[in-house]
């Protein structure tokens, strides 16, 4: 690590934080200075297990804490927007889990708040920083695959429990919000090789039984200015788990077997007229690469690929997909004024 360690405050004591911030902070020599959760005992247990220096009484206390330099927000989807806005109002740098907001209107407010605060904001599309995804982009850059013709991203997993907030409409749940945003974002990142950003052509989805307005699955068809096409699929009640990205060019194709969890499977399979080969790109966590990049930007000014404008563009595409598939846009969460 170069420069002073980041001083990180964690909102909530979610299990995902163990992989997404605790391990990467430890690997990078950064400090977890504070944690807050709705249940103080749960926060205390989290702090004890993971070496967080202290527990604070509320989310509001954490974003106001003068020792906290960076706020990490892994709360339920519907709580991303309001607490991201609160952290920015407090002048904090912010690393938020995706999606950054419940809808595009809220994402636009976050974009404006980032501009006003002058702090660093990043939405946690960690896959982008891993050598697996970088290799897909290198294969397009090198010309080995020829011109980009089609991309298919698939995000599918077995169903969470019925009580899981990912099935909650008020908390901005649904397959597209939880999984599909990866599918859409990965396609958006191919704009440099396809003449620009993709546009939505059509979308269709299926509702979770017993949960009005919440998508169990959703497929989106995209088209790039070059004429290349894309299919972004997500399914949150699938019999199997699949997190793949397949890029088809005029001279070959490449598939990242698990582009979102390369720490579990780091293979990229390349097929051209010369034959087939499998490249293994390393199982270091993509979250660790992400925090390294975030810290390098804060400490050395290294360019960062993700910002509030990118988050807003993704959220607009998500809203467009919901409307096209006949689903309502997710509602925003309004916090009590006493917080």
Alpha helices in 90-229 (DSSP H): 104-117, 131-142, 175, 181-188
Asked if residue 237 lies in contact with residue 215, where contact means CB atoms within 8 angstroms, the answer is: no
Closest CA to 244 of 198, 288, 187, 191: 187
- Report whether pLDDT(1) > 60: no
> How many Å apart are CA 149 and CA 194, to the nearest integer?
8
Q: What is the pLDDT of residue 337?
A: 59
Q: What is the pLDDT of residue 68?
A: 98
Using 50, 70 and 90 to split pLDDT, how confident is the model at 283? very high
Q: Which residue has the tokens 């499998």?
A: 278
- Report whether pLDDT(70) > 80: yes
Q: Which fold has domain 7-126+289-308+320-325?
A: Rossmann fold (3.40.50)
Alpha helices in the chain (DSSP H): 16-17, 23-28, 40-50, 59-64, 77-89, 104-117, 131-142, 175, 181-188, 286-300, 308-325
Coil vs helix vs strand at 156: strand
Q: What is the pLDDT of residue 33?
A: 98
pLDDT in tens, 180-223: 999 999 999 999 999 999 999 999 999 999 999 999 999 999 99
CATH 3.40.190.10 fits 127-283, yes or no: no
SS (H, E, C) 269-286: EEEECCEEEEEECCCCCH
User: How far, CA to CA in Å, does 199 sit from each of 105, 196, 203, 218, 321?
Assistant: 19, 9, 11, 16, 10
Q: Which residues contact 66 (CB under 8 A, 6 or more apart)?
A: none
> How many Å apart are CA 319 and CA 324, to the nearest integer?
9
Residue ranges matching CATH 3.40.50.720 in the chain: 7-126+289-308+320-325
Closest CA to 101 of 90, 118, 114, 92: 114
Coil vs helix vs strand at 13: coil
Closest CA to 173 of 293, 313, 20, 322: 322
83: tokens are 């607490």
178: tokens are 């939880």
pTM of the model: 0.97
Q: What is the pLDDT of residue 256?
A: 99
Q: What is the pLDDT of residue 3?
A: 83
73: tokens are 């927000």
- Is the torsion defined by CA of 37, 83, 154, 138 positive or negative? negative
End-to-end Cα, the chain, rounded Å: 36
- Report whether pLDDT(104) > 80: yes
DSSP 146: -
Residue ranges matching CATH 3.30.360.10 in the chain: 127-283
Q: What is the pLDDT of residue 335?
A: 85
């Amino acid at each position: 690590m170069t420069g002073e360690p980041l001083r990180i405050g964690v909102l909530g004591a979610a299990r995902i934080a163990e992989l997404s911030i605790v391990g990467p902070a430890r690997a990078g020599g950064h400090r977890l200075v504070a944690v807050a959760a709705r249940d103080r005992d749960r926060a205390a247990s989290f702090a004890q297990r993971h070496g967080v220096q202290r527990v604070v009484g509320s989310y509001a206390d954490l974003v106001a804490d003068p020792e906290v330099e960076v706020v990490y927000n892994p709360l339920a989807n519907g709580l991303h927007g309001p607490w991201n806005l609160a952290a920015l109002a407090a002048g904090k740098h912010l690393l938020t889990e995706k999606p950054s907001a419940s809808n595009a209107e809220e994402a636009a407010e976050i974009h404006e708040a980032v501009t006003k605060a002058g702090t660093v904001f990043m939405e946690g599309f960690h896959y982008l920083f891993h050598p697996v995804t970088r290799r897909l982009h290198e294969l397009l850059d090198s010309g080995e695959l020829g011109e980009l013709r089609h991309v298919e991203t698939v995000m599918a997993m077995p169903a969470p429990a019925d009580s899981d907030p990912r099935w909650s409409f008020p908390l901005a749940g649904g397959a597209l919000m939880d999984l599909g945003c990866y599918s859409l974002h990965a396609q958006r990142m191919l704009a440099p090789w396809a003449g620009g950003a993709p546009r939505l052509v059509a979308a269709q989805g299926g509702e979770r039984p017993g949960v009005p307005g919440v998508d169990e699955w959703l497929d989106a068809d995209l088209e790039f200015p070059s004429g290349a096409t894309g299919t972004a699929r997500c399914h949150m009640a699938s019999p199997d788990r699949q997190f793949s990205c397949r890029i088809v060019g005029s001279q070959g194709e490449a598939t990242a077997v698990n582009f979102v969890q390369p720490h579990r499977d780091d293979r990229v399979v390349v097929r051209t007229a010369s034959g087939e080969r499998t490249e293994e790109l390393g199982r270091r966590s993509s979250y660790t690469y992400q925090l390294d990049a975030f810290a390098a930007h804060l400490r050395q000014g290294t360019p960062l690929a993700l910002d509030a404008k990118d988050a807003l563009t993704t959220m607009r595409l998500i809203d467009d997909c919901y409307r096209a598939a006949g689903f309502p846009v997710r509602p925003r969460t309004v916090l009590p004024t006493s917080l």
